[in-house]
Amino acid sequence: MPEEITVIRPSALLKDQDAHQVLMALEERDVSKGGVWSATAGLWQRYDKAWDGEAGSRGGSQLVGTIGVVYGTPSKYDITIYRATVTEYGHESGWSVDRLCDDALQFADLTLASCPRTTLTQPGPDPFKQS
């Protein structure tokens, strides 16, 4: 099965306290610390095992999937989950979009199904652009 990309509509919303719990848990489980997550602003990546390569490289670790997030939306400390992708390897290993998201959201006692929802809005016209 090829890579699965799911746009999450309406988007899942992590309110500030839940967002903080998830971010702290992903940080504790970072690939640089022997964990299976690599979380950067905008993208959370889940691997099948800790990175085991030389000088902190991936080595034999395989990417299971990614979660696309927006920090500070809809309010300053919230996080919005708008997309998830499961790789072909992830599918072959039994992962789904729901399972991937649930793996990250478990740290706030949430699942993708139980997460509050919001709608991302498109930015308005640039007020500084000359017509």
Whether residue 87 is contained in a domain is answered as yes
**102 backbone φψ class: left, alpha, beta (φ>0; ψ -120 to 50):** alpha
**Where is average pLDDT lowest: 3-7, 17-21, 27-31, 119-123?**
119-123
Whether residue 130 is contained in a domain is answered as no
How high is the pLDDT of residue 53? 83
Whether residue 114 is contained in a domain is answered as yes
Whether residue 126 is contained in a domain is answered as no
Instruction: Compute the average pLDDT of residues 56-82.
Output: 91
How high is the pLDDT of residue 2? 76
Whether residue 74 is contained in a domain is answered as yes
E-state strands within the chain: 4-14, 37-40, 43-47, 63-71, 79-86, 117-118
Q: Which structural domain, as residue segments, surrounds residue 47?
A: 4-118
How high is the pLDDT of residue 26? 98
- Looking at the structure of the chain, the number of domains it has is 1
